[in-house]
Structure 1
């Protein structure tokens, strides 16, 4: 029998301004550690600390633009585009555009504070 996910859990986000994380599937909402799927809504000017996670993160931008910065440069990901951040690579996400961004993030294995390794 399929498992219906009635609603997401709201997860506290890191960063300089409030961002909404709605986890549909993951360690918090569905007790799933294999992967996590969340919808993110980030305001204009949001930036989070850099991180070097132990998971791959697959991101599809639905609205606005998400900037993904690595040690080698930055990639601006527009609505309708996707990006993969590979485990073990230092990465920093931000939404510098005027409209912020809405995007879906899939982490494999599932996101956890113990696996993200954020900068101090």
Structure 2
């Protein structure tokens, strides 16, 4: 039987400015250990520390621009675009644009 997730859980975020993370599926909201689906809303000027996630991550930008720095440079991912990062790859996300960004991370 399908299970309705009626609302996301708001999760604390790392970074230089407040960022909103709304987890729909994952450890916090649904008990899923192997997948996470979250909507992020990041203000202009937000930046998180660099990281090497142990999992593949797919990020779809809904509004604004998300900058993804990596060992080979940087990608500016615009609304309507997506980016896929590999497990163990060094990345740092930021939203330097004037309007910040809204995106979904899986």
Tell me the TM-score normalised to structure 1 length. Answer: 0.87
Partner residue in 1 for 2:70: 70
TM-score with structure 2 length normalisation?
Answer: 0.99
- What root-mean-square deviation, in Å, do the aligned CA atoms of Structure 1 and Structure 2 show? 0.4
**Residues 88-109 of structure 1 deviation map (CA, whole Å, 9 limit, x = unaligned):** 0000000000000000000xxx
SS of 1:66 mapped into structure 2? strand
Aligned residues: 106
Ranges of 4+ aligned residues in structure 1 off by more than 2 Å: none
Runs (5+) with no aligned partner, structure 1: 107-120
Q: Deviations over 1:19-64 (max 9, x none)?
A: 0000000000000012000000000000000000101110000000
Q: Which runs of 5+ in 2 are unaligned?
A: none
